[in-house]
Amino acid sequence: MTRRSDWPEYAPFPEPPVASASGAGGPEADIEDSDGPALSRAEAGPSRASARSRSRSGGRSQEREAEPADPVERARAICLRLLTGTPRTRQQLADALRKREVPEEAAEEVLARFEDVGLIDDTAFAAAWVESRHHSRGLARRALARELRTKGVDSAVIDEAVGRLDSDREEETARALVERKLRSTRGLDRDKRLRRLAGMLARKGYSEGLALRVVRRALEEEGEDPEVLEEHFPGL
pLDDT tens by residue, the chain, 236 residues? 444 334 444 344 444 333 333 444 433 333 233 333 333 333 344 445 555 555 555 555 555 555 667 899 999 999 999 999 889 999 999 999 999 999 999 999 999 999 999 999 999 999 999 999 999 999 999 999 999 999 999 999 999 999 999 999 999 999 999 999 988 888 888 788 888 999 999 999 999 889 988 988 888 887 765 555 556 555 44
Q: With the CA atoms of 148, 126, 91 and 19 taken in that order, what torsion angle do they form, in degrees rounded to the nearest 10?
A: 60
CB atoms within 10 A of CB 211: 24
* Percentage helix, strand, coil for the chain under 3-state DSSP, each rounded to 5: 65, 0, 35
This prediction has a pTM of 0.67
Q: Write the CB contacts of 100 (distance below 8 Å, at least 6 apart in sequence).
A: 64, 74, 78
